[in-house]
Amino acid sequence: MRNKRIAALLICILMIGTGLFGCTKTEPERIGIVSAMDNEVALLLQEAKIDRVDTFGGVDFHVGTLRGQPVVIMRSGIGKVLSASAMTAMLNRYSISEVIFTGIAGGVGDETQVLDQVIATRLVQHDYGTMTNDGFVWANGVTDEEAGEKDYYFCDPTLVDLAYNCAVEVIGKEHVFKGTIATGDQFVASEAYVKTLQMQFDAIACEMEGASIAAVCTQYQVPFVVIRCMSDKADGNAHDSVENMGDLAADNSSRIVMRMLDAMGQ
């Protein structure tokens, strides 16, 4: 009986390694395209040729081609936990050559306006730290004295340049910016906190998933870029602005992704 159990265990390990339990690592490499919400992937799914939909952990992974490129498109869900979980599942189950995170965000920089595009050069978790008797102290896993560039997640420079150039083609240079995006598990609708994000992190946009996606991709050594169209200014009017401009902003980001895929195929 013991030998049979050992044999069964070895077979299971072999099946996992060869993809017989749903892992599709034996497939050709694909570009991972990730968003948090339905409206952020709607245009992409409409334009894509989807061969199949795999569902793991409540997340649908749309496998097919978009603009001639092999892709896996997923909606992760909102926030750092769901986005990190879904990103991990994608990287474990598919051969992903690079990751493009697309969607909407709040404009933090004074220079950015609604419907402007921000291409992240680096990302940071603005809500990671310690709650003390004197209030919240940010520390991305280190002391204040040790904090520095290593506490940011850096996007792949080649993908950043590609995204920037394609965004300029789609919406015009005056509406495209590169810089730091700050991620946290809060929808920011506060002028005062916007100033904090500016001063502490030099952020020009804020959202709820980018740094968690970046953290997972960094651990897996998969190149990534995060692109965001501003749906609001993260101020007291943010909820109304997202309601009115969110879909248009999401489609703008999707058009830039498709232009990136076009350029990759040239």
Q: Which residues are catalytic?
A: 40, 232
Q: List the structure tokens of 51.
A: 């061969």
Angle at 133 between CA 141 and CA 125, to 5 degrees: 30
Which 3 state secondary structure label does DSSP give 221?
Answer: coil
Q: In whole angstroms, what is the distance from residue 150 CA to residue 240 CA?
A: 36
Question: Which of 38, 85, 86, 46 is CA-nearest to residue 67?
Answer: 46
Angle at 243 between CA 82 and CA 169, to 5 degrees: 80
Q: List the structure tokens of 163.
A: 């995204």
Who's near 199: CB < 8 A, 6+ residues apart?
none
The amino acid at residue 170 is: V
> Tokens 């502490």 belong to which residue?
200
Alpha helix (H) ranges present in the chain? 2-18, 38-47, 80-93, 157-171, 191-201, 210-220, 238-264
Helix (H) or strand (E) holding 233, with range, is none
> Tokens 């700050």 belong to which residue?
182
Q: In whole angstroms, what is the distance from residue 113 CA to residue 109 CA?
A: 8
